Amino acid sequence: MAFVTRQFIRSLSSSAALHAAIKHVTIIGGGLMGAGIAQVAASTGHSVVLVDTSEDILKKSAKGIESSLKRVAKKKFAEKPEDGEAFIQKILKNISTSTDAASVVQGTDLVVEAIVENLKVKQDLFGALDKAAPEHTIFASNTSSLPIADIASSTARLDRFGGLHFFNPVPMMKLVEVIKAPGTSQQTFDSLLEFSKALGKHPVSCKDTPGFIVNRLLVPYMLEAVRLHERGHGSKEDIDVAMKLGAGYPMGPFELLDYVGLDTSKFIIDGEHFVLSIPRFDVKVLC
């Protein structure tokens, strides 16, 4: 009876911890996306630790965050620069850095991974962190293309694993795709939705399918633009202009490819296996 009681109390404690608001966030990866997520989380009052493999990378990340905040402060406090400086320092105080991920996650509510789009690298990272993080800690990947279920498979917390796909530049882009894998509990999914809202973002619910929503539609569009140009049916410049003026897009497909980066686009395409996962339309059906 005593054992059952202890188990019941433990279950209640775990449930209460999972329902608690996310306050402490660990961001793994000090690149453009990781630093952007760290800035937004710190700006909304969260305690943030930004983790990467070297102090040099972290110094560069911190410098980038401070520069970004200075641009925000310059616009927001144009007539009161002293208030702008206080604004910057208040946010920076919410951010610390570390090269020891296993140590940091021992006291965190949420781990957000924003590293290279390589399945094995992500699995190895989360497999190691799973052994160090508390039971209540939620894991999330910022992957734009890899299946969340595959990344989560290296851990023993499938129910506390989901996707948080932010968009670049993170401080400016309002959208967050919140991905629910087959093993993600509703409790975890709700926590990730609430966290996204707490950041001032607009979350959309996604299933764990190739490309989620945005890239499922966006990447084929960019690939078709490349094919259109390769067939000689339009110059890169004219295709960009046509989509901006004709479809109202802020960027044309080639401008967007350059902005995202051809290397990153290649990672996304390889990860999504678009040739296999997205059917081509039958022209007869469209006629």
Residue 144 is assigned to a ligand binding site: yes
Residues whose CB falls within 8 Å of the CB of residue 133, separated by 6 or more in sequence, listed in order: 105, 106, 108, 111, 139
- Known active-site residue 142: no
Residue 196 is assigned to a ligand binding site: no
**Rounded (5°) CA angle 150-161-25:** 125
69: left (phi > 0), else alpha (psi -120 to 50), else beta? alpha
- Known active-site residue 47: no
Q: How many residues does the chain have?
A: 287
Residue from 144, 145, 191, 265 carrying the catalytic annotation: 144
- Known active-site residue 144: yes
Residue from 113, 117, 177, 272 carrying the catalytic annotation: 177
Residue from 191, 215, 265, 272 carrying the catalytic annotation: 215
d(CA 172, CA 43): 13
Residue 174 is assigned to a ligand binding site: no
Q: Which one, of 112, 115, 78, 81, lies nearest residue 199 by Cα? A: 112
- Known active-site residue 165: yes
Residue from 165, 191, 196, 265 carrying the catalytic annotation: 165
Which helix (H) or strand (E) segment holds residue 223: the answer is helix 214-230
Residues with a known catalytic role: 144, 165, 177, 215
Report the binding-site residues.
68, 75, 144
Report the binding-site residues for CoA.
68, 75, 144
